[in-house]
Amino acid sequence: MDQIKVDALRAQPVPTYGHLIDVQFLPASDGGTMDVLSPLDGQVLTQVAKGTVADMKTAIASARAAFEDGRWAGQAPAARKKVLHKWADLIEANALELAVLGVRDNGTDISMAINAEPGSTAGTIRYYAEALDKLYGEIATTPSDILGMIHKEPVGVVGAIIPWNFPLMIGAWKLGPALAMGNSVVLKPAETASLSLIRLAELAHAAGLPPGVVNVVTGEGAVVGEAMGLSMDVDVLVFTGSGGTGRRLMEYSARSNMKRVYLELGGKSPNIVFADAPDLDMAAKVAAAGIFRNAGQVCVAGSRLLVEASIHDDFVAAVVKATEAMRVGDPLSLDTHIGAINSENQLSQNLKFVETAQAEGGAIVTGGSRILQETRGYFMAPTILTGVTPDATLSQKEVFGPVLGVTPFESDDDAIRIANSTVYGLAGAAWTSNLSRAHKMVRAVRTGVMHINTYGGADGTVPLGGVGQSGNGTDKSLHAIEKYVNLKTAWIKL
């Protein structure tokens, strides 16, 4: 990656975007627009259409028509595979453009964005392209005069609401399996990160995806997101984001057509470090990266650091050292480790969490404030607080920012109790040289993903899903396809 090329792309003006429906850019039905503020400098980057209920209905009707006439679902698996692979080719060819556009929109540092966004997106699309013609139906065990068959059919229209932290990566987790199985998709990007998803959909059409199979409607969640949730013509709704929004989407399902709703709702993931960890220095560096990468705006972030009491002070000092070596700055600079907070509202929320943590007895050992204010961007120093009790607000509520709470523990059972003391269960980790303890932690910590002697990095071959109030269903792996198919039984008298 070349800094000169990054800077050249940074300087390019960003066009104003309408909704992408039937391969056309359409303005909002009432002409409304929303300013796109860049977190790099707080300035208006461009504008996108501010969607209305009518706009969402138009997009859903387009997706429904595309599904019903079979222009995509009716294609042979080999034909769908060809289009998806071409789409992945175009993503790779335009990777730097996509990454820079996304960074200007959401603030992720470019060194992470290039791999986490277009890089992983192309890989995800290829994964499901290769899977789609290898998923067979079943023949049931039946009496000799009966043929029982189980068919896998696409569900129809999928509504996907995508968050702002990794819009391409998480968008691909929904788009890949949904499209591979022949469904049509309506995307609703986050208000503060729409641009790269619009461009992704453009590339899908350039690869040969038929009109209406992927439509993108931008706007406020309270308007177009609600319209999607209440639609009688959306068959499955998938969402990554906050628990409050997830609850509303389930209510919308009940008030409409009882559409299936799959939710990934974040977490308060425990990173448990035992005194017998195989490499405490490495554990400290990974602990810092596990919470501070992408400025803590990661659903699986290791935001609770549980440290065995006998090594607490030394280990915290090592994490502080690793943290203070990470450079916060311009997300489009190749030597930046931590980029911007997505929005001023999110930054304000992060700082309020720090204030609350201090009021509840936590002590700041590094960070704790807004920085780089001269840029007018939204930057926060990575923050570590010690003395955070298991019942403290910082232990119980998701911050979604660069804030780490540290809590000591005395024993295995104590660590498990603290780890399981929240309503969430998305990810976690344990650092130990004891194989029995490692397996015990995997079994005992209630979470969808459990790391041992590492944190993060699980690829697309394994599922990502939570337990408790971290949601239901899974993204990634072949298991994600289950969300986008209906099982149909054929019972045939011979």
In the block, tokens 């609703």 appear at 188
| CA distance readout (Å), 42 to 36, 39, 107, 379, 420 | 9, 5, 11, 11, 39
Shared-domain flag, residues 280 and 161: no
Rounded to the nearest 5°, which phi and psi values hold at 278? -65, -25
DSSP letter at 118 equals I
Q: State the pLDDT at residue 457.
A: 86
Shared-domain flag, residues 119 and 245: yes
Shared-domain flag, residues 171 and 49: yes
Establish if 466 belongs to a structural domain.
Answer: no
Establish if 379 belongs to a structural domain.
Answer: yes
Establish if 377 belongs to a structural domain.
Answer: yes
CA distance 449 to 224: 32
DSSP letter at 482 equals G
List the 146-154 sheet strands across, edge first. 138-139, 146-154, 485-493
* Set 202, 264, 308, 398: catalytic member: 264
Amino acid letter, residue 330:
D
HEC letters along 195-256 = HHHHHHHHHHHHCCCCCCCEEECCCCHHHHHHHHHHCCCCCEEEEECCHHHHHHHHHHHHHC
**Cβ neighbours of residue 206 closer than 8 Å, sequence gap 6 or more:** 90
**Cβ neighbours of residue 13 closer than 8 Å, sequence gap 6 or more:** 46
Total-model pTM: 0.97
Length of the chain: 494
Shared-domain flag, residues 311 and 433: yes
Task: Find the Cα–Cα–Cα–Cα dihedral 313, 314, 317, 321, rounded to 10°.
Answer: -170
Q: Which CATH number covers residue 347?
A: 3.40.309.10
Domain carrying residue 69: 3-265+471-491
Shared-domain flag, residues 258 and 313: no
Shared-domain flag, residues 352 and 209: no
Shared-domain flag, residues 253 and 296: no
Establish if 11 belongs to a structural domain.
Answer: yes
Number of domain units in the chain = 2
CA within 13 Å, CB half, 261: 25
Q: Is 153 a catalytic residue?
A: no
CA distance 275 to 431: 8
Establish if 361 belongs to a structural domain.
Answer: yes
Q: What is the residue-level pLDDT of the chain in tens, covering all 494 positions?
A: 899 999 999 999 999 999 999 999 999 999 999 999 999 999 999 999 999 999 999 999 999 999 999 999 999 999 999 999 999 999 999 999 999 999 999 999 999 999 999 999 999 999 999 999 999 999 999 999 999 999 999 999 999 999 999 999 999 999 999 999 999 999 999 999 999 999 999 999 999 999 999 999 999 999 999 999 999 999 999 999 999 999 999 999 999 999 999 999 989 999 999 999 999 999 999 999 999 999 999 999 999 999 999 999 999 999 999 999 999 999 999 999 999 999 999 999 999 999 999 999 999 999 999 999 999 999 999 999 999 999 999 999 999 999 999 999 999 999 999 999 999 999 999 999 999 999 999 999 999 999 999 999 899 999 999 999 999 999 999 999 999 999 999 999 99
Q: State the pLDDT at residue 16.
A: 97
Establish if 362 belongs to a structural domain.
Answer: yes
> Closest Cα to residue 378, out of 111, 6, 38, 11?
38
Shared-domain flag, residues 399 and 483: no
Shared-domain flag, residues 243 and 275: no
> H helices of 31-76, where?
53-68
Q: State the pLDDT at residue 199.
A: 98
Shared-domain flag, residues 43 and 186: yes
Shared-domain flag, residues 230 and 331: no
Establish if 224 belongs to a structural domain.
Answer: yes
Q: Which CATH number covers residue 133?
A: 3.40.605.10
Shared-domain flag, residues 295 and 198: no
